[in-house]
Amino acid sequence: MAEAMAESYNRDSEPTTRTLLRRVLDTADTRTPRRRRSARVRRLSSPTKMNVRRRSHRARSIGRLAHVHTSGNLEEQTPRTLLKNILLTAPESSVMMPESVVKPVPTPQVVQSSRRESSRGSLELQLPELEPPTTLALGLLAPGRRKQRQRLSVFQQGMDQGLPLSQEPRGNGSASSLTSSLNLTFATPLQPQSVQRPGLARRPPTRRAVDVGAFLQDLRDTSLALASPGDSLRTPVATLPTDTVLEDTQPFSQPLIGRSPSVYHSLPCLSHTEAEDAERAVSHRIQSSGPRLQNHNPGKPTQLLAGKAKKVDALAVSFPNNSSAVSGEDGVEPLQDGVGEEAEERMEESLSVSKVMATTGTQGSVRMEKSKGHREMTEAAEAKEPEGSSGASPELASSTTEFLQARQPQFLEPAPPPSTAVLSSEPLEPLSTRLPPRARTPGPRARTPGPRPRQDPHKTGLSHYVKLFSFYAKMPMEKAALEMVEKCLFYPNPFGSLDKYFQHLCDDLEVFAAHAGRKTVRPEDLELLMRRQGLVNDQVSLHVLVERHLPLEYRQLLIPCAFSGNSVFPAQ
Amino acid sequence: MAFSTTVSQRKHIKRKAPRGFLKHVFKRQKPHLRLETSGDLLVHLNCLLFVRRLAEESRMNAFESKCGVIKKEHVQAAAKLFFSPTQPELRGMKENC
């Protein structure tokens, strides 16, 4: 070991991390229980002490400490732990602690700082164990060459400034010098650079003024374009995002969850106008202090809207911050979709309520609907409600409607749904962008009369499959051929008495369910059907087909998967 | 089977299942029966596979008749294969799988 020590001393000329580590290893090796401790320690501690004493006043105390601690804690130290500590505290660059920096540091700080650093250095190990290795490290580093003295002093200052922020405030800034000497990796390593080279500093992301209106309009356009083709997806499945994101993300999944905190964080950074709008919405709600119920209902949608607007615009503000614009859009869309869906349902309830209230002619709902319908359905609004009811409140709420309008300019274009109650449609329209394309196919909704809505979801559902046919065919097709496909799918075969696909399907499923003594068709029946069709066999299982052809969200619904907490979804 | 997640066509194919439509159809056909929650997704899967098979079959028919366009007759012929007695269909399907 002596020659190793000599070696290490000879290597003083190039004190890199590697040499340091080697030194430490050499010294540390001697401390393992396997070796003869007493002899080694004595031999080593003295050279260590010598080494330290040679360099600096501080190092001496370190050596002393090291000596004390090494003799005391021989059992707890292993080369592994030492190495770990060294690695943790090792400098990223090969910058050594110059004497000029070491010397000013007073001795009592060493213990304190070493303790602090040790506690920071390796959180897993206990405190007393860390002192010797760190002091060892110090002792080894101290005799090192003073490279880049200037840089370090500057760095030290930077660390002094930066450490109180980044580290737990367990000590004072006095220890920062120590940590700076060792270039702790816990502090942000870029900080020292920023002090010397301001050009490399991490600037706070410049927030360009996002044209909120244009952005929201674009959002609306894309969400409209991707909206479902008019079939009534009002089930909870409707919370699924649009198709482009169906395979990529989940609705309200982690990316979005990760984003929503940032949304809420950026809420305080919202522009002043948005805060004003929120205030106005609040005041508007307060103002419409009619019956509590009625106040509640307009309040809810307004709140929803305001919240939605906030979220949207917060996302818009944080848009430049997000590295991926696509994910931002995707996140906003499902958010809007989801919120819009809930808002839809709530608006449905409020619809009926507001209808009742409208007959009584209370001010709040009037204001509410008037404000909402003010921009979009001007003719309807004027026809319906007394315009002179409140001149002030439309202005108040107009700010919210400006918002809404900026987001949903398309409402002006689609014709008002053929509902008798335009009043009811007014609060409905601004809320849901998906409603106008789907308002024509309300199907289950009783308020829209006529056979047209009832046929539409049917047609659109069928056409969905017809489109898929043309997609799979990859060839141009005649219109007649497409009609033929439609016939194949649904309508009875004109050639003979054969039923067509869906009817076949339903019959088979009925038979299978009855065979199992059930009145509910379950997935097992479906699997049996596919097995009979030859789609599922011993080589290809149903799950494989599900994975191949269905988007991710459906796969999660169909294939049971184990989650944390000993739970399986979907439950079996 | 090559399965591409990206749509290279100009047409935007929606991958959502028209669940309402499926439920509606089933209810119409068999009002005394009930369909389970995820059952309609499997029905959708079945439809997808059916449509895919139909399309491939009609495409092959069109190739055979050296047409660049799928015509009504091709589709009809393909459909006959599916809705006729199942033996030839099974054979065809096993090839596809």
pLDDT tens digits, A272-319:
444 444 445 444 444 444 444 444 444 444 444 444 444 444 444 444
Looking up residue B73, the CATH number of its domain turns out to be 1.10.20.10
Residue entry with tokens 């169909």: A558
Residue B71 lies in a domain: yes
Give domain A494-562's CATH superfamily. Answer: Histone, subunit A (1.10.20.10)
Across the interface, of B16, B59, B76, the residue whose CB is closest to A228 is B16
Name the minimum distance, in Å, from the CA of A514 to any CA of chain B.
10
- What is the predicted pLDDT for the residue at B35? 84
The rounded distance, in Å, linking the Cα atoms of A399 and A488 is 53
Task: Answer yes or no: is B32 within a domain.
Answer: no
| Chain-chain contact of B68 with A475 (C-beta, under 8 angstroms) | yes
Higher pLDDT, A483 or A315: A483
Cβ–Cβ gap A470/B11 under 8 Å: yes
- Give the count of domains, chain B: 1
Are A550 and B44 a contacting pair at CB < 8 A?
yes
Q: Between residues A116 and A529, which one has the greater pLDDT? A: A529
Task: Say whether pLDDT at B58 is over 80.
Answer: yes
Report yes or no on B75 lying in a domain: yes
- Judge whether B29 lies within some domain: no
Do residue A474 and residue B59 have CB atoms under 8 angstroms apart? yes
| Chain B residues lying within 8 Å of A443, measured CB to CB | 20, 24
Please list the alpha-helical segments (H only) found in chain B: 19-29, 39-64, 72-83, 86-96
Which residue of A222, A438, A532, A549 to mutate against B (max B Cβ within 10 Å)?
A549
- Could you tell me if A447 and A422 are in contact, meaning their C-beta atoms sit under 8 angstroms apart? no
Nearest to A416 by CA among A394, A434, A439: A439
Contact between B19 and A237 using a beta-carbon 8 Å cutoff: yes
Query: Is the model's pTM score more than 0.80?
Result: no
Average pLDDT, chain B: 76
Percent of chain A past pLDDT 90, that is, above it, reads 1
Q: Which domain holds residue B76?
A: 40-84
Cα Dmax for chain B = 47
Q: Is residue B11 part of a domain?
A: no
Q: B85 CA to chain A: closest CA distance, Å?
A: 11
Contact B24 A458 (CB under 8 A): yes
| Residue B72 belongs to a domain | yes
Q: Distance from CA of residue A112 to its chain's centroid? A: 40
Cα nearest neighbour of A551 on chain B: B15
Phi first, then psi, for residue A483 (nearest 5°) are: -65, -35
Asked if A54 and A64 touch (Cβ cutoff 8 Å), the reply is: no
